[in-house]
Structure 1
Amino acid sequence: MDRRNFLRAAVVGTGTVAFGFSVTRTSIAYPAVPGPSPYGALLSADANGIMLPSGFTSRVIARSTQTVAGTGYTWHGAPDGGACFADGSGWIYVSNAELGSGAGGVSAVKFDANANITGAYRILSNTNRNCAGGPTPWNTWISCEEVDTGYSWETDPWGVNPAVRRAAMGRFNHEAAACDPVRRVVYLTEDKSDGGFYRFVPTTWGNLAAGTLQVLKTDLTWATVPDPDGSPTTTRKQVSGMKVFNGGEGAFYRNDKCYFTTKGDNKVWVYDAAANTLNTVYDDNLPGGGTGPLTGVDNITGDTTAGDLYVAEDGGNMEICIITPSDVIAPFLRVTGHSSSEVTGVAFNPAGTKMYFSSQRGSSGSSSGGITYEISGPFRTTP
């Protein structure tokens, strides 16, 4: 067995690197290595050009610049980060528009209990390069602007309340947000080669209007960012000893842990807030040479019950890869014929029976060619 399967991933703490040699389930949790998917091999591409495991099917939900079926709403271009929200017996899927020059924002599609589309509408407009974000425990969507002077915007998936700019969360090249209800903070990633990993501590949990922006240091302590507005000095240049991450992308929180990705080095990380440790969940540079199946790491989410993680590729071979609790990484699906696109917005409906994602630029390679999909099938409920 490879040495990687015995050594615990390096844990950075108080300036040291420690290795654990116990072979308990906890100690060999990271990093994941290639292996067979729990869903089996991918089959030939279906009518929508998607390779799926046996028993799974795909459906096109929306196409950029075209009207969403059964509604009068035109779907936005360059669909990116997304999430689902429970709506009675149905649900809502929200999707960012990664468009510049004030053409960005967020759209929503509403489904009934049988996954029929019952509506589509805009919930944020006139913003820039809304890339990723994250849902809140109080059922709002934080949409993040991926520009150097970008803001986080809090939006209402139902489209009833107006979107609100949350300036206290900092002005920088925002990517994703992940809420930690235990410590009552919101983790934030930054899409820069020398970016930081932040947390926003609201003055009142459930209200993002005011609070403190902090950034992780190399010794795994959190330091307050003196000027969250980032002017004239950008936030990532304000704190000495900041831990640098190479191109922060997606983020997902579950059970005291924030998982996040960095595209510059093709890694999936986990910050364990309870233990205050930082580990590498996945590194595409495999021992002995070669690379793993996941390249161009981007959006990340988890299923509702089995404990699996799903990571979308920006480029690569247009896959969504699964990382299981037993430390195996494997392709879950592949989009064919979209070589100039990226996979974005991966999210599950509340019951965990439907997966949503987009090919941001579709087969055309243009932001007007985006396609949003739904995947149905026997998603597992136990590891």
Structure 2
Amino acid sequence: MAPPQSSQTQVQVLVIGAGLAGLTAASELHQQGIDVLVLEAAARVGGRVETVTTGLGSRLDLGGQWIGHGHRRIAALAEQANATAYKTFTGGGAPRIVREGKDISLFSPAILLGAVILGLFDLLCKIWIPRSWNRVTVEKAIATFVPSRMDTTRRLIRLLAAVTTTAELDKYSVYAAGKSLPLAGGLMAMLGTHGGAQDTLLVEGMGSVTAMLAARLGGPSRVRVESGQEFTAAKVIVTAPPPMQKSLRFNPPLPEDRILLQQNTRMGVVYKAIAVFERPFWRDRLGGEYLILDDPLCGVLQPVEWHEKAWQLDEFCGGGYLAFPLVGTTHGLLPMPHTPWGNIHWAGTETAEDHPGYLEGAVLSGQRAASEIIACIKA
């Protein structure tokens, strides 16, 4: 991190936010010889990517971690970082579904009904979603379309909806959910491991990619954290998601549509916990993927370490995986608006045309915002 050089600094481009989108945009600009400075309020870079090292020396991702099948942009950055990619371990079979300590057969009526409902919804999303569903919450839809006697089916659908969106299901509309699915390749891609969105991990963690991007910004380009300086620039890229943009002061004020976007979206709620063991004993005969329908989980075998993060309590990220629109509004449907306003450009995974909410979407949005500015500067 470069120390403050003066009370005021002037650069060609300021990037607000040192997450994956902001660092990608800055790297693209830097490679074109454009003077760029990245500003970050937190005491670290990475944004919704955060990697920690265990006492055993392994690296853990508390935030975004997966490279999905076909996510070529984030895969290319991982290769540039000399990171070691490996396939997510599954045990070779389908995930095991457990309730009250017992495995549930994938061919049980409860699971088959859930598969039919989700499959029909996925198909409908590719054809047409009634706009009236914008006022129907996902929670209400589950209660309406799944009989109360099929409680296991309800729990399964709630769990899958929650882990794929991190939205609060009583605040997330069926319409918004339906509009987002095709952008991620459909429900099967979102839920899939091999060949799906959870295909590949990095031994060094995704933080190796953000660290590499930050390290690239040497010389006239740099990342600054909590410096308290004043900066001026010809162009600005804002990468904070809309709900978090409310903490930024814009003068002159933003247009009404941007203000409504901030007011009518909220961050997802996600808590991530990782138990560390000296060896992966579950690979012997227990498989690698479980869907546990009980709430709460009573306990786990004694780990050597325990790591956790509640992203909704992060002061600067505000939640994860992404922002979503409130029920009854169309402001914040994915992809979220990113048309430049004057000299302000917008990035962040929510604005990506493909794979919004994913690491791939963050990279895509950063590249797109950088391309907009490069076109303006070199016109």
TM-score normalized with structure 2 length: 0.27
Find the structure with the greater CA-based Rg. Answer: 2
TM-score normalized with structure 1 length: 0.27
